[in-house]
Structure 1
Amino acid sequence: MKLFSRKVGEGKPLIILHGFLGSSDNLFTVSKYLATQGFSVFILDARNHGQSPSSSEHNYQVMADDLAEFIDAEGLENPVILGHSMGGKTVLQYAQKYDNYEKLIIVDIAPKFYPTHHEHIMEGLNAINIDTLKSRKEAEEIFSEYVSDPGERQFILKNIYRMDDGFAWRINIPTLNSELENVGEEIESSKNIDKPVLFIKGSESSYIKDGDFELIQKTYTNAQLIVIDGANHWVHATKPKEFIEAVTEFAL
């Protein structure tokens, strides 16, 4: 599948993949700063997200293949690849199958299985009738019954965009509903990875728990972990300066 992408800057190739229900828009500001540090930054929309095509499939095998197709199409040699959450698992799956990369950066996710925990979000999205929606305020009011945190609501509802005759989604809700369990699936290790891998954890996030890194190191033998103080799961949004510094120091 040919993914939608944006490019900023010139220099060492750095590919960035967003998380579940996100898009390249979420990481564009951070990418512009990284571009000033000597990178050509490629920000991708995953399948069924943003401006990339929709599909009935949504799992890490096909998303890793999408990434490989993009790298081949761009003619990139040994890029640094960064992924947040779902994007991080996509990167880890890619590394199990492909060798065309120099370093990996995995943001606030581990290869382990995560129980499905997005059901209330999907219920809320399904409660919004996009065909009859009159305003963003109406969507906010409906969605607030399912997601209480205002920041999380705003982040997810960025997936609504206005057209001449109303509104539409930038996410493929039917497929993400049916494939939801795949988002938390384990990335099984068929081989050990000895290239450098940086795991970045937000101190206020519970996605990477005590003891997870010991298990990570069994497969990713050249891995390191840094914790960014005060950051939640969306490390790049809550602590952008520290995030950019960590990425630049490791990737260059």
Structure 2
Amino acid sequence: MNLHSLTVGSGPSPVVFLHGLFGQGKNWGSIANALGTEATSHLIDLPNHGLSPWTETFELDQQADLIADWIADAVGRTALVGHSLGGKLAMRVALRRPELVDRLMVVDISPARNEAAQSFAALVAALRQLDIDHLTSRTQADRELTPAIPDDVVRRFLLQNLRHKGSHWSWLSNFDLLGDSLHQIGGWPPIDAVYDGPTLWVTGGRSPYVTPEHAEPMRQLFPRVLQVTLKRAGHWVHADEPEAFISVCRRFLAAEAVTPA
């Protein structure tokens, strides 16, 4: 699959960034720009997101294999960074295709079932009810979604997926498939593999996505894992604490020891 990607920076270290559910590769843009002299960053739109193709079905390993094939063809062995859904897919890539992953950073997600994905069900339902065939403007879409999605930040994040081309509005994300696949997105199928490369697990101190009982499953799959918690960050660690996150990324790429914040 020919995934859409942006390349940012010209540094010596190749890095592939994977965004979260309903996001796009460009969500990593400010981080990649800050790392421009240290890294050449490849910001992928995941399958069923952004400008990448859609699939007819969804399974974590199926999606991870599409990403792994793209990495093998376009980049080669690389550092791999993934947030939320992108973090789950990054873990599956490292476990299934370790020869492609020089080092791994998993951002605020665990190799475990996480029911937080189900919270997206109401958001998807609201988006599906929006009549985009008779939409006249993005402002109208924002106004009509406000009662169902009152959080301005969440609503505007989701509306990044609304594309206007000619007189036609459409969604970039495959909301039908992804909305129907929230159980799979929140899950973690058993896998008989170990990734023994350097692994950094960056979590938000105010996030509910990673809990203490996730530590042992993480160590079993990634025996060289080091956890760093940014105490003031929620689930969107790189957006909540960008300077601290960039500092962690620099040490990650330089293979230096990372001291927990």
TM range (shorter): over 0.9
Q: Which residue of 1 aligns with 2:206?
A: 204
Q: Does the Cα contact within 8 Å between 1:106 and 1:198 map onto a contact in 2?
A: yes
Find the aligned partners of 2:161 and 2:90 in 1 and give their Cα distance: 23
Moved more, 141-150 or 217-226: 141-150
Q: Does the Cα contact within 8 Å between 1:123 and 1:146 map onto a contact in 2?
A: no
Whether 1:113 and 2:141 are equivalent positions in the alignment is: no
| Counterpart pick for 1:140 among 114, 139, 142 | 142
Q: 1:75 to 1:151 in 2, by over 3 A?
A: closer
Instruction: Provide the TM-score with structure 2 as the length reference.
Output: 0.91
Q: Which residue of 2 aligns with 1:84?
A: 83
Query: What secondary structure is seen at the aligned counterpart in 1 of 2:101?
Result: coil
Q: Does the Cα contact within 8 Å between 1:47 and 1:55 map onto a contact in 2?
A: yes
Find the aligned partners of 1:19 and 1:251 in 2 and give their Cα distance: 21
Q: What residue identity is the alignment partner of 2:16?
A: I
Find the aligned partners of 1:60 and 1:243 in 2 and give their Cα distance: 26
Q: Which residue of 2 aligns with 1:51?
A: 51
Moved more, 83-92 or 143-152: 143-152
Q: Which residue of 2 aligns with 1:23?
A: 24
Find the aligned partners of 1:71 and 1:147 in 2 and give their Cα distance: 36
Structure-to-structure mapping, 1:159-174, within 5 angstroms:
159-174=161-176
Instruction: Provide the TM-score with structure 1 as the length reference.
Output: 0.94
Q: How far is 1:137 from its partner?
A: 2.0
Q: How far is 1:178 from its partner?
A: 2.4
Find the aligned partners of 1:72 and 1:231 in 2 and give their Cα distance: 33
Q: How far is 1:58 from its partner?
A: 2.2
Q: Which residue of 2 aligns with 1:5?
A: 5
Q: How far is 1:75 from its partner?
A: 4.5
Note the residue ranges of structure 1 that are not aligned, 5 or more in a row. Answer: none
Whether 1:215 and 2:217 are equivalent positions in the alignment is: yes
Q: Which residue of 1 aligns with 2:258?
A: none
Provide the alpha-carbon RMSD of the alignment.
Answer: 1.4
Find the aligned partners of 2:211 and 2:178 in 1 and give their Cα distance: 26
| Counterpart pick for 2:236 among 226, 234, 237 | 234
Q: How many residues of Structure 1 are paired with residues of Structure 2 in the alignment?
A: 250
Q: How far is 1:244 from its partner?
A: 0.8
Find the aligned partners of 2:159 and 2:114 in 1 and give their Cα distance: 24
